[in-house]
Structure 1
C-alpha cells in the first residue's frame, strides 16, 4: 500500500505539473499575426515555451504510467484505453514542439532573407503554423479528452475519488472538446477569450484533483476491497 500511495501522490504532482506547463508553453510570438518576425525577436521566450511543452508531454505520460498498474485491477480494458490515448496525446505534444522549433528556425531565416523571398517564407510558415495549431489545440486535445473520459468513467464506477470530482472532470472534458471542435471549424481562434473560458473548468479541475491525489489519494476502502479479491 505504501508504494501505491507514493505512485498516487506523484500522479497528482504530474497532473499539476502538466497543467502549469501547459500555461507556460504558450508562446504569444508564435500566435501573433507577425509571427515570422516576432518569433525571432522573442527567441528565448519561444524556447522556454518549447521546453514547457516538452515537460507537459512527460507529465501527461507520467500521470498515466503511474496510475495504470493501480486502475487496471478495476478494469483492464478501460485502463489500457486510458493509457493508450495518453501515449498518443504525449506523442502529439512532442510533434507540436518540433513544429514550434521549425517555425522558430524559419523565422530566423525570414528576417535574414531578401524581400523577394517573403512570399515563399510566409507560405511555408502559414502551413507550419496551421498544422501546429491543429495538432496542439485540436487533435491532441481531442485525443486527451477521449482518454480523460475513459478515466473519469472508471473513477465514477469504482468511487476511487469523490463522484463530484469525476463528474466535474467529465464536464470540463466536454467543454475542452467543444473548444477544440470550434477551432477545427474556425468558429473561434487559438488563445481567444472564448477558448480560454471553455478550457478553464478543466484547468481548475486538474489543480484540485492533483492536490486531492497528493493529500488524500484514492479511497482506501475501495483499494483494500479490490486487493482482497
Structure 2
C-alpha cells in the first residue's frame, strides 16, 4: 500500500517570512473563531429580556461580549492585512475583495458594539436617575438591540460569505493549503447566503438551529484554515515565489 506523505514545508529564501506570515494569519483566524462563538451566550440577558435596559439581569456577560467583539473586529482586519500580499500574488481582485469584506465586517461589528454600549449607558442612567418613562426606555433599548442584530446579519454572517468566496477561490487555485479546506468554504458560502436572505425576508430568525446549521461550513472552513496555517503553514506553490 502506498502511503501519502504530507507536503514538505516551503523552502528557499522566502520560507522563513512565509512561515511567519502563515502562523500570524492562522493565529488571527483562531482569534476570530474564539471571540465570535461565546458572544451569543454572553448577550443572552440583553437579547432575552426587553427589561434589561431597566435594570433586569446581569451586565457582566454583556460587557465581556462587547469586549470580545472589539477583539473580533481587530482580528478580522488583521487576517486581511496579513494575507493580502499572499492572495494578491494569485489574484489582485480576490485580494482586494477579501480585504474589503473583512474591513466592512469589522466596521459593522463595531457599530453593533456601539449599540450594545448605548444600551448599557441607558441602563446606567436609569439606575442613577430612577427613570421616568419605562415604555420609552424599553422601546429605545429594543431598537438598539435590533441594530446589533442587523449588524450581526450583515457583518458576521453575510461578509464571511464574501470572504470565503474571495479567499477560498484564491487559496484553492494556488494550492496553498489542502484543497478540501477551501472547498468547504466555497460550498458553504451559497448555503449561508441563502440563510441570510431567508433571515432578511423573515422566513426564519437569527440564532435558530436552521441558521446555525447554515453557518457551520463557513465556520469549519475558517477554523480548519487557521489550524492548518499554524501547524503546517503554506504548501509550496508558484504563488509564493
TM-score by length of 2: 0.84
Residue-pair matches, total:
225
- Residue 204 of structure 1 deviates from its aligned partner by 2.4
Equivalence map 1:158-173=2 (5 Å) = 158-173=174-189
- Residue 36 of structure 1 deviates from its aligned partner by 2.4
Aligned to 1:194: 210
Aligned to 1:181: 197
Is there any run of 5+ residues in structure 1 with no aligned partner, and where? none
| Structure with larger Rg | 2
CA RMSD of aligned residues (A): 2.2
User: Secondary structure in 2 aligned to 1:220?
Assistant: coil
Aligned to 2:3: none
- Deviation larger for 120-129 or 7-16: 120-129
Aligned to 1:16: 30
Aligned to 1:147: 163
- Residue 14 of structure 1 deviates from its aligned partner by 0.9
- Residue 37 of structure 1 deviates from its aligned partner by 4.9
Distance 2:79 2:54 in 1: 34
Does the 8 Å CA contact 1:12/1:210 hold for their aligned counterparts? yes
Aligned to 1:81: 97
- Deviation larger for 88-97 or 136-145: 136-145
Instruction: Tell me which of 194, 198, 204 is aligned to 2:220.
Output: 204
Does the 8 Å CA contact 1:25/1:52 hold for their aligned counterparts? yes
Aligned to 2:137: 121
TM-score by length of 1: 0.88
Aligned to 2:118: 102
